[in-house]
Amino acid sequence: MKRLLLAHAEGIGNLIELLPCVATIEKNTDYKVDIFFVWKSYLFPSEFLPKTRFYTKGIFQPTDYDGSAVTQWGNVHLEDKRNLKEKIMFSQIKPLCDLGKQSTLRGIHSEVGRYLEIAKALKIPSANYVYDVGDYIGFDLDYSESFDVVLCDGYNRKNKFAKWHVKSYPKYPELANLLKKEGYSVCSIGMKPEYIEGTEDRTDIGMLKTASLIRNARLIISNDTGWYHVAAAFKKPGIVLFTCTLLSKNYDPKFHKTITSIGMPLSCRASCQPAQKWRIACKHWNCRNIDLQQIFKMAMAKLKKQEVVDVS
């Protein structure tokens, strides 16, 4: 079996959205794919990807590989002078294709689709693309706790580069209370600052236990963040709230098919989102004002549908 090293970067969501490309290559060629995470915004335990070897910071051996490929995000960070050593090492591997110069921010393809362009470059027919990747993600087999609904107000931080906090949905506490009044158990996941008032606190419990909570839940409700992509990989019923981020970029109908998207139909999205100007420029953030009752009614419909299936 030949080995391919795929350079990538960024956070949990970017990693999960790459997995259809990894699975497609492995199931249609004689390549075993390893991932070189040039830069990451999260610490991934090795058990989180039990089927895939992944590296950070120049610990791979170029001579171990028969070919390489790089995503746009991988290229962005390989061009950073702080990663010069890694760039030199990576360049020693024969490139099979390079999508690094193609932007993932144009909205032409979803990120899942953009990464699958690597499979296309390897002459794999689109009919053979693999979207079933739940077995690529690790979880805690001994953690059996479950909730009816898992809420995720993920990646809601603000820094000098972006106002990521506007990805969050401000009415999560009210949503949690409505669901609890109907008798459903509700928890929130993510990092400690992402705890949602009124829910059972399961933030900051580690990636493997968090993945288990998602696997065990009946419904996931999340804004556009990494754990929503994990829920899609596990084929969990869910709702994703697109506030200020780009639906066409971060939602793939084939990969996220068990997740329903909700967002505000605002005219300002046309000029704001493709260039992600919302990071610094927006003055009103009306995109965050998604109707609470719309979300609640959809959540109830999904939960009741499962109850009908359970009874039958």
CATH number where 59 lies: 3.40.50
Of 263, 310, 272, the C-alpha closest to 291 is 263
3-class SS of residue 96: strand
- What is the reported pLDDT for 100? 52
Pair (109, 182) in one structural domain: no
Domain hosting 91: range is: 2-136
In tens, the pLDDT along 168-178 reads 899 999 999 99
pTM of the model: 0.91
Count up the domains in the chain and report the number: 2
Pair (264, 185) in one structural domain: yes
Whether 142 maps to a domain, the answer reads no
Pair (118, 61) in one structural domain: yes
What pLDDT band is residue 291 in, cutting at 50, 70 and 90? Answer: very high
As a whole number, mean pLDDT of residues 252-257 equals: 97
Pair (167, 242) in one structural domain: yes
Using the 3D structure, point to which of 74, 102, 136 is the last residue of a domain: 136
Whether 144 maps to a domain, the answer reads no
In tens, the pLDDT along 127-167 reads 999 999 999 999 999 999 999 999 999 876 665 555 677 78
- φ, ψ of residue 110 in degrees (nearest 5): -70, 165
Pair (8, 114) in one structural domain: yes
Whether 280 maps to a domain, the answer reads yes
Pair (127, 34) in one structural domain: yes
Helices and strands (H, E) in the chain, number of each type: 11, 11
200 within 8 A of 186, measured Cβ to Cβ:
yes
Pair (164, 267) in one structural domain: yes
Pair (153, 301) in one structural domain: yes
Pair (101, 165) in one structural domain: no
Pair (172, 86) in one structural domain: no
Whether 143 maps to a domain, the answer reads no
